[in-house]
């Protein structure tokens, strides 16, 4: 992998420092590759990691770094395992304050920027999220100037040149994310989801097979709005086709609001100098006071598993971190505060190999990412379970009805035994 040999980390690092960079496409890959290459010559330091979507951590076990993780997905999964699950369970809406109060320490921030017409300002290009907070709290800020990024300037996309201590020219691989092909089951789930979303609603979805399937299922809708933590190529398809117009959002009308552009060159090129795409900080995108003002806000999220009372686990499988608390609870609660809003949990009924049901009698030792008191609607390929306001037996019946048929009898039997013990 190419690396930024022009920057010597020994000149800025102190023992015990915490080094952080933006997650996903915000990673300055030249700097992070140089950091990993120089690791044997550096003092004891800790990497503070969001979701890493590159191969930067491929040799993490031999790097000598310690790891503190905000996520267990994608490339960060290895760091979470190596650190014995040193994962901070925090809603995305809480991360900015955790950084600003040094509950999440940041001493050195590595970021990507690109030039703008204003020589005193740089664009963050693809990622706002909690980048401003990283920069504000870091003792040292090192920026890669990367003209491959889009010139985004609205919202929270700009950063003063005076905030940056060192500059290098980007020479690493461009961190792009490509939409996966959804599975047949994901497409079936998405068809049910699309029927729940009315025209003129505002929507939220993330990245992965299920969001791609949902975007494809929404192609016949009209005048949707988009307010999300991240957007990908599939969302750009809906904007370009005229499905997403943002005309009836209630706030930020005419504008797609997102914390990050998690896409390929297609998304990058679409966002370049495009005033209809606005990057905002997590303190705005994930704030309930923001979402409460959105019109008919429908949020679509997923989960590893759900128990018969409606509790969601979106973090752990078999004791291994594969996900995060992330923005799920923020968006679940935000949708409920929106007038005519709806929170949708969209998930296939089984694991990809079909051997295990994602609807389980209880979560056992797995964490509760979203509590049952917050769950509204759950959708699988077998239909829709509306849990809001149901009692516990009613929830169990509704969820068993959307579980895979091969597991329904066992779920009923296990729930009955559980009820007798209670």
CATH number, domain at 257? 3.40.1080.20
Residues belonging to the chain: 422
User: Strand 18-20 vs strand 66-69: parallel, antiparallel, or unpaired?
Assistant: unpaired
Residues 15 and 154 in one domain: yes
pLDDT at 376: 98
Residues 162 and 242 in one domain: no
Distance CA 135, CA 142 (A): 9
Residues 329 and 283 in one domain: yes
Residues 150 and 265 in one domain: no
Q: DSSP letters along 241-266, please?
A: TTSB--TTSSSSTT-EEESBB---HH
Question: Can you tell me whether residue 386 is helix, strand or coil?
Answer: strand
DSSP 8-state secondary structure symbol assigned to residue 373: G
b/e sequence 227-242, b meaning 16+ C-beta within 10 Å = bbbbbbbbbbbbbeee
Residues 412 and 324 in one domain: yes
Please identify which residue in the block is written with the tokens 């694991």. 351
Residues 300 and 324 in one domain: yes
Rounded to whole angstroms, the maximal C-alpha distance in the chain is 71
Model pTM score? 0.96
Distance CA 388, CA 335 (A): 13
What range defines the domain where residue 330 resides? 184-421
Distance CA 18, CA 107 (A): 5
**Contact residues for 303 (Cβ-Cβ < 8 A; gap 6+):** 312, 313, 314, 328, 345, 347, 358, 369, 370
Domain assignment present for residue 74? The answer is yes
Residues 193 and 144 in one domain: no
pLDDT at 17: 98
> Which of residues 105, 136, 169 is at a domain's end?
169
| End-to-end Cα distance, the chain | 57
Domain assignment present for residue 176? The answer is no
Structural domain count, the chain: 2
pLDDT at 6: 74
Residue by residue, pLDDT tens for the chain (422 residues) are 344 447 999 999 999 999 999 999 999 999 999 999 999 999 999 999 999 999 999 999 999 999 999 999 999 999 999 999 999 999 999 999 999 999 999 999 999 999 999 999 999 999 999 999 999 999 999 999 999 999 999 999 999 999 999 999 999 999 999 999 999 999 999 999 999 999 999 999 999 999 999 999 999 999 999 999 999 999 999 999 999 999 999 999 999 999 999 999 999 999 999 999 999 999 999 999 999 999 999 999 999 999 999 999 999 998 899 999 999 999 999 999 999 999 999 999 999 999 999 999 999 999 999 999 999 999 999 999 999 999 999 999 999 999 999 999 999 999 999 876 65
Residues 322 and 407 in one domain: yes
CATH number, domain at 128? 3.40.1080.10
Q: DSSP letters along 262-303, please?
A: ---HHHHHHHTT-TTEEE-BHHHHT-HHHHTTSTTEEEEE--
Residues 85 and 146 in one domain: yes
**Contact residues for 37 (Cβ-Cβ < 8 A; gap 6+):** 3
* Among 208, 207, 204, residue whose Cα is nearest residue 227: 204
Domain assignment present for residue 4? The answer is no
Residues 245 and 392 in one domain: yes
Residues 130 and 49 in one domain: yes
Angle at 409 between CA 403 and CA 413, to 5 degrees: 115
């Amino acid at each position: 992998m190419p690396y930024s040999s022009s920057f010597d980390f020994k000149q800025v690092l102190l023992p015990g420092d915490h080094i952080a960079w933006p997650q996903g496409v915000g990673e300055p890959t030249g700097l992070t590759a140089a950091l990993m290459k120089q690791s044997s010559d550096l003092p004891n330091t800790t990497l503070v990691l969001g979701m890493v979507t590159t191969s930067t951590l491929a040799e993490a076990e031999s790097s000598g770094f310690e790891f503190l993780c905000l996520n267990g997905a994608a490339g960060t999964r290895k760091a979470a395992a190596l650190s014995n699950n040193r994962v901070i369970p925090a809603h995305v809406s809480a991360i900015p304050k955790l950084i600003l109060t040094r509950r999440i320490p940041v001493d050195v921030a590595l970021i990507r920027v690109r030039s703008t017409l204003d020589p005193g300002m740089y664009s963050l290009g693809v990622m706002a999220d909690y980048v401003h907070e990283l920069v504000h709290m870091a003792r040292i800020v090192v920026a890669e100037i990367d003209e491959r990024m889009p010139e985004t300037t609205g919202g929270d996309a700009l950063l003063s040149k005076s905030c940056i201590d060192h500059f290098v020219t980007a020479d690493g691989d461009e961190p792009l994310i490509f939409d996966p092909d959804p599975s047949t089951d994901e497409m079936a789930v998405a068809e049910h989801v699309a029927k729940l979303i009315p025209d003129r609603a505002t929507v939220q979805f993330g990245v992965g097979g299920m969001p791609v399937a949902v975007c494809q299922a929404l192609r016949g809708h009209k005048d949707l709005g988009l307010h999300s933590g991240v957007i990908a190529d599939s969302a750009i398809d809906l904007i370009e086709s005229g499905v997403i117009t943002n005309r009836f959002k209630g706030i930020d009308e005419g504008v797609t609001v997102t914390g990050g552009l998690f896409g390929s060159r297609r998304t990058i090129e679409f966002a370049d100098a495009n005033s209809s795409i606005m990057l905002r900080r997590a303190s705005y995108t994930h704030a309930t006071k923001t979402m409460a003002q959105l019109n008919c806000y429908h949020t679509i999220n997923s989960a590893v598993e759900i128990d018969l009372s409606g509790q969601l686990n979106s973090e752990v499988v078999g004791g291994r971190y594969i996900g995060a608390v992330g923005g799920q609870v923020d968006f679940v609660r935000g949708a409920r505060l929106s007038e005519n809003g709806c929170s949708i949990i969209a998930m296939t009924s089984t694991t990809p190999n079909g051997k295990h049901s994602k609807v389980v009698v209880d979560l056992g030792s797995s964490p509760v990412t979203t509590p049952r008191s917050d769950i509204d609607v759950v959708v699988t390929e077998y239909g829709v379970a509306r849990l809001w306001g149901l009692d516990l037996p009613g929830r169990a019946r509704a969820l068993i009805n959307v579980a895979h048929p091969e597991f329904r009898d066992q779920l009923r039997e296990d729930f009955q035994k559980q009820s007798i013990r209670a």
